[in-house]
């Protein structure tokens, strides 16, 4: 029996400074996680971080996340707005490790070099939306299927 494809879902957590906005964002991402788990193994730190004060020690977090990225087949970043986030370090690590990557966000909000990754690599896809409605979920699934065929 083949094992399920593994997806590492990265999201900006520390970029939020308002507990309510973080809670709303976290709930939005749960919709994506539940959708993806119908077919894939998904890891996302956002599941463990229930509030803005619930962080691991940074060194421990970095090593755990990097190990999970290495174990994943696809790195996915949801980037809902223009913001500073350590999720971009995870993105760089995933790219350097040759992972297949899906960026979800409005291009105007994505970092300049993140846009360059998609333009220069067949292993990077951008799903242009910060929303997670049914149409966008289907576009994400299409991007996954596209990358699986590489």
Q: Is the pTM of this model over 0.85?
A: yes
Where are the domains positioned within the chain?
Answer: 6-148
Is residue 97's pLDDT more than 90?
yes
Distances in whole angstroms, Cα of residue 23 to Cα of each of 34, 87, 121, 126, 130: 16, 18, 34, 25, 16
Q: What is the mean pLDDT of residues 112-137?
A: 93
| Element (DSSP H or E) covering residue 101 | strand 100-104
Strands (E), 11-99: 41-43, 74-78
Is residue 36's pLDDT more than 60?
yes
Is residue 3's pLDDT more than 80?
no
Q: Give the pLDDT score at 55.
A: 58
Q: Does CATH number 3.40.50.450 belong to domain 6-148?
A: yes
Give me the chain's average pLDDT, please: 90
- Cβ distance 77 to 150 under 8 Å? no
- Cβ distance 22 to 52 under 8 Å? yes
Residues near 143 by Cβ (< 8 Å), separated by ≥ 6? 102, 125, 127
């Amino acid at each position: 029996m083949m094992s399920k494809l593994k997806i590492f879902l990265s999201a900006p957590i520390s970029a939020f400074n308002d507990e309510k906005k973080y809670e709303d964002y976290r709930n939005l991402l749960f919709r994506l996680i539940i959708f993806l788990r119908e077919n894939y193994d998904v890891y996302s730190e956002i599941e463990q971080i229930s509030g803005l004060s619930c962080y691991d020690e940074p060194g421990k977090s970095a090593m755990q996340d990097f190990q999970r990225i290495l174990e994943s087949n696809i790195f996915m970043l949801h980037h809902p707005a223009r913001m500073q986030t350590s999720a971009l370090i995870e993105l760089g690590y995933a790219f350097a490790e040759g992972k297949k990557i899906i960026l979800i966000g409005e291009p105007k909000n994505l970092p300049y070099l993140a846009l360059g990754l998609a333009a220069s690599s067949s292993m990077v896809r951008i799903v242009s939306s910060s929303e997670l409605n049914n149409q966008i979920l289907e576009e994400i699934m299409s991007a996954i299927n596209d990358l699986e065929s590489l």
